Amino acid sequence: MRLRQTKILLRKNLILIKRSYRATFIQLIVPFLFVFFLWILQFGIKANEKNSDALKVYDNPIPDQIGNIPRCIIGPDLDYCYTVAYTTNTPVGEFVINEIKRKQNIPDDEIRVFATSDDMDVFIDENHNSTTAAISFNLTSTNQLHYSVMYNKSTVYNEAKEILTQTYIQLPWIHAIEFELTKNITNNNNLKFNVDFIEYAHPELVIRDVIGDMGPVFFFAALMFNVVIQLGQIVREKELKLREGMKMMGLHDSVYWFTWTLTNIATNIVSACILTASGYIFQFDFFKRNEFPTFFFVFILFGISMVPFVFFLSTIIKRSEIATSIGFVIFLAGIVIQGFAPTAFQENFYAAVRVILSLLPFALLSKGIGDLSAASAGSQANGLKWSERFDNEFFSLQDVYSWFIFDFFFYFLIALYLDNVLKGLYGVAKGPFFFLQPSYWSSKPQKPKLESASKSKKRAKKGIELDEAEDEDVVTERENIINGNLSEHDSAVKITNLRKVYKKSTCCGKTKEFAAVKGTYLSIAQGQLFVLLGHNGAGKTTTFNMMTGLFGPSSGDATVFGHSIVTGMDEIRKTMGVCPQHDILWNELTGREHLEIFASFKGIPDTEIPKEVEERLKDVELTNVANLPTGKYSGGMRRRLSTAISLIGNPKIVFLDECTTGMDVCSRRQVWNLIERVKRGRIIILTTHSMEEADILGDKIGIMSKGKLVCVGTSLRLKSKFGAGYKLVALYDATVDDAATKIANFFEVQLSVKPSLMQVGSLEFNVPRSQLNNLMEFFDKVEAAKAVLPLTDIQIRMSTLEEVFLTIAGHDE
- CA dist., res. 317 & res. 327, Å (int): 11
Q: Are residues 674 and 749 in the same domain?
A: no
8 A C-beta contact, residue 257 and residue 311: yes
Phi, psi of 425 (to 5 degrees): -65, -35
Q: How many domains does the chain have?
A: 4
**Domain limit, last residue, from 130, 162, 197:** 197
- Same domain flag for 504 and 549: yes
Assess if residue 447 is contained within a domain: no
Q: What is the pLDDT of residues 625-672, one digit of tens each?
A: 999 999 999 988 999 999 999 999 889 999 999 888 888 888 889 899
Max CA pair span of the chain: 172
CA distances from 83 to 92, 106, 119, 128, 180 (A): 20, 8, 17, 13, 18
User: What rounded mean pLDDT belongs to the chain?
Assistant: 84
> Whole domain around residue 756: which residue ranges?
724-806
* pLDDT higher than threshold 60 for residue 448: no
**Residue 579 and residue 634 in one domain:** yes
Question: Angle at which helices 292-316 and 397-421 pack, to 10 degrees?
Answer: 20
Taking only the tens place, the pLDDT of each residue in 671-690 is: 999 999 888 889 999 998 88
Q: Is 59 within a domain? A: no
Asked whether residue 428 is domain-assigned, the answer is no
Instruction: Indicate which CATH number applies to the domain containing 745.
Output: 3.30.70.260
Judged against a pLDDT cut of 60, whether residue 404 lies above it is answered with: yes
Q: How far apart are CA 63 and CA 420, in angstroms?
A: 76
pLDDT exceeds 70 at position 446: no
| Same-domain check for residues 247 and 384 | yes
Q: Are residues 375 and 503 in the same domain?
A: no
Please state, in angstroms and rounded to a whole number, the distance separating the CA atoms of residues 596 and 7: 12
| Cβ 548 vs Cβ 572: under 8 Å | no
Do 467 and 545 have their domain in common?
yes
Q: For residue 456, what pLDDT is reported?
A: 47
550 burial (CB, 10 Å; 0-12 / 13-18 / 19+) is buried
> Residue 151: inside a domain, yes or no?
yes
Given a cut of 70, whether residue 426 has pLDDT beyond it is no
Residue 432: inside a domain: no
Domain assignment present for 57: no
pTM for the complete prediction?
A: 0.74
Picking from 419, 434, 461, the residue at the C-terminal end of a domain is 419
Together in a domain, 156 and 227: no
Q: What is the mean pLDDT of residues 442-453?
A: 49
Q: How far apart are CA 786 and CA 44, in angstroms?
A: 110
492 and 363: one domain? no
pLDDT digits (tens, 9 = 90+) for 524-561: 999 899 999 988 888 888 898 899 888 888 889 999 99
Over residues 593-630, the pLDDT tens digits come to: 999 999 988 888 888 999 999 999 998 989 999 999 99
Determine contact, residues 120/114, Cβ cutoff 8 Å: yes
Residues 35 and 12 grouped into a single domain:
yes
- Regarding whether 293 and 253 lie in a shared domain, the answer is yes
Considering the chain, what percentage of its residues have pLDDT values greater than 70?
90
Q: What is the 3-state secondary structure (H, E, C) of 341-357?
A: HHHHCCCCCCHHHHHHH
Mean pLDDT in residue range 422-436: 70
Confidence of residue 493 (pLDDT cuts 50, 70, 90): very high
Instruction: Tell me: do 119 and 238 sit in the same domain.
Output: no
Q: Are 133 and 248 in the same domain?
A: no
